[in-house]
């Protein structure tokens, strides 16, 4: 098995000048695809990156899906990412110790009044896993346009921050997780709190109050030791339009180790387009941050960053992307990272990813990921399935 995986990765790397790393797990909803009898491409540019319709399903908390159709499949499914990493000239390493269990779905008639998603890592990087996601949502405010979420949930931010097709993702060393002194931004994290989303037509308006990103013990952790953040997003986003653009921001309070707090805020702008009608897709964003007290005796800092990426389909199952991320933490530290990624949809629930990551002054890092998903099957015999 291991020799087979290595051979496949090397073939891809020779073709695209890359190899494969990291263990950034992909996320899709195979039980949804099974229940509806549709291809994953209905919601994804390439798993886990979402297209316009998939982003609509995401920001509405699956409210647009029919609960009676979802009842045809079990809400429980399993994913198993196998990661590969090599930073030349060091030895390669494999991560075969990650296993996640998901439960997601909808209930309530006549529409999906209640929806939920829970993900628990059984193992993560060969260690005991943590709780990744655990939210439920009520979706019947303002004639179905309002959705209120509670639990460990995704922050209001561009979808690419949480679900993207690069092995390393847009979050690694980018403005989504930029560190300024002691403060580490968590704009892409799943955190405990509450979120309200108003989705109507092309309007996407979201606001959330979030705190801890810990496991189940963080669900009521609102004391002074936690980073408390008000995060928001306002965007033009229509489920039928491949172009999306908008604004996102955050205002928070970070507790410092020597006492006191870092009052910080961020403002970001983004635009994206799906690769359709023979035109490549793109994602670009620019973000500005301010930290009043970065800690460690540092003065107030104004940081910023920019990310951009082009991507296009290769046939019906492949996709190639080229991107760059640049950050300035406002304290004299600058980061520039480039990446070339290739992904291939092997079969219905098997994905293969390969990446070459380039950082100024360092040797290339070869990254890869093989992702397996296993739906647990229908809840009912075909002749008894809800219609």
Question: How confident is the model over 292-349, as pLDDT tens digits?
Answer: 999 988 999 999 999 999 999 999 899 999 999 999 999 999 989 999 999 999 988 8
For residue range 209-244, what is the model confidence (pLDDT) as tens digits? 999 999 888 888 777 788 999 999 999 999 999 999
Q: How far apart are CA 227 and CA 10, in angstroms?
A: 43
pLDDT at 175: 77
Rounded CA gap, 257 and 206, in Å? 32
- 115 — alpha (psi -120 to 50), left (phi > 0) or beta? beta
Q: What is the pLDDT of residues 73-82, one digit of tens each?
A: 999 999 999 9
Closest CA to 209 of 193, 232, 220: 193
Q: Which of 107-111, 357-361, 372-376 has the lowest mean pLDDT?
A: 107-111
Q: Are 112 and 124 in contact (CB under 8 A)?
A: no
Contact of 230 with 207, CB cutoff 8 Å: yes
Structure tokens at 19: 């190899």
What is the predicted pLDDT for the residue at 291? 97
Q: What is the mean pLDDT of residues 87-94?
A: 74
- The mean-pLDDT minimum among 9-13, 32-36, 259-263, 320-324 falls in 9-13
Instruction: Indicate the pLDDT class of residue 169, thresholds 50, 70 and 90.
Output: confident
Three-state DSSP state, 189? coil
Does position 21 have pLDDT exceeding 80, yes or no? no
| Res 16 pLDDT > 90 | no
pLDDT of 17 strictly over 60: no
User: Which is higher by pLDDT, 122 or 222?
Assistant: 122
Q: Is the pLDDT of residue 11 over 50?
A: no
Q: Quick one: tokens of 193? A: 């709190």
Mean of all residue pLDDT scores within the chain: 87
d(CA 324, CA 308): 6
pTM: 0.87
Q: What is the pLDDT of residue 201?
A: 96
pLDDT attached to residue 296? 87
User: Is the backbone peptide bond immediately before 89 cis, with ω within 30 degrees of 0?
Assistant: yes
Tell me what percent of the residues of the chain surpass a pLDDT of 90. Answer: 63
Rounded-to-integer distance, Cα 83 and Cα 75, Å: 26
Q: Is the pLDDT of residue 282 over 60?
A: yes
pLDDT of res. 220: 82
Contact 368, 346 (CB under 8 A): no
* Chosen CATH of 2-384 out of 2.60.40.10, 3.40.50.300, 3.40.50.2300, 2.40.160.10: 2.40.160.10
* pLDDT the model gives residue 171: 55
List, for residues 252-269, the tens digit of each pLDDT value. 999 998 889 999 999 999
Q: What is the pLDDT of residues 309-318, one digit of tens each?
A: 999 999 989 9
pLDDT in the model for residue 386: 45
pLDDT recorded at residue 27: 62
pLDDT attached to residue 223:
79
Question: Rounded to an integer, what distance in angstroms lies between the CA atom of residue 32 and that of residue 50?
Answer: 14
Nearest to 34, CA basis, from 131, 113, 104, 100: 104
Q: What is the pLDDT, as a whole number, of residue 88? A: 60
State residue 137's pLDDT score. 97
Q: Determine the average pLDDT of the residues in 163-172.
A: 77
pLDDT recorded at residue 362: 80
- Structural domain spans, the chain: 2-384
pLDDT, position 176: 86
Kindly state the helix (H) or strand (E) to which residue 98 belongs, with its residue range.
none
As a whole number, mean pLDDT of residues 31-43 equals 91
**pLDDT > 70: percent of the chain:** 89
């Amino acid at each position: 098995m291991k020799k087979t995986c290595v051979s496949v990765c090397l073939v891809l790397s020779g073709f695209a000048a890359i190899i494969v790393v990291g263990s950034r797990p992909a996320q899709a909803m195979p039980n949804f695809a099974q229940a509806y009898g549709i291809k994953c491409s209905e919601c994804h540019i390439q798993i886990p990156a979402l297209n316009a319709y998939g982003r609509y399903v995401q920001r509405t908390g699956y409210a647009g899906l029919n609960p009676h159709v979802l009842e045809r499949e079990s809400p429980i499914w399993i994913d198993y990412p196998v990661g590969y990493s090599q930073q030349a000239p060091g030895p390669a390493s494999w991560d075969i110790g990650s296993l996640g269990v998901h439960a997601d779905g909808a209930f309530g008639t006549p529409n999906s009044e209640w929806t939920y998603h829970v993900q628990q890592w059984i193992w993560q990087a060969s260690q005991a896993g943590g709780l990744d996601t655990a939210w439920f949502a009520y979706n019947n405010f303002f004639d179905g346009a309002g959705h209120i979420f509670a639990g460990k949930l995704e922050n209001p931010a561009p979808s690419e921050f949480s679900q993207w097709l690069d092995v390393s993702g847009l979050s690694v060393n980018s403005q989504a997780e930029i560190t300024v002194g002691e403060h580490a931004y968590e704009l892409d994290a799943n955190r405990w709190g509450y979120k309200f989303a108003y989705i109507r037509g092309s309007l996407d308006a979201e606001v959330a109050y979030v705190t801890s990103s810990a496991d189940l013990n963080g669900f009521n952790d609102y004391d002074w030791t936690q980073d408390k953040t008000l995060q928001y997003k306002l965007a033009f986003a229509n489920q039928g339009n491949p172009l999306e653009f908008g604004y996102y921001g955050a205002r928070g309070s970070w507790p410092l180790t020597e006492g006191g707090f870092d009052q910080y805020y961020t403002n970001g702008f983004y635009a994206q387009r799906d690769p359709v009608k023979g035109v490549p897709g793109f994602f670009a964003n620019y973000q500005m941050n301010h930290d009043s007290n970065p800690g460690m005796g540092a003065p107030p800092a104004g940081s910023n960053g920019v990310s951009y990426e082009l991507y296009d389909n290769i046939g019906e199952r492949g996709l190639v992307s080229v991107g760059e991320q640049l950050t300035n933490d406002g304290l004299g530290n600058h980061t520039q990272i480039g990446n070339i990624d290739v992904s291939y949809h092997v079969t219905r629930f098997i994905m293969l990813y390969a990446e070459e990551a380039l950082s100024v002054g360092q040797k290339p890092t070869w990254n890869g990921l093989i992702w397996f998903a296993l739906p647990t099957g229908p809840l009912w015999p075909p002749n008894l399935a809800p219609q």
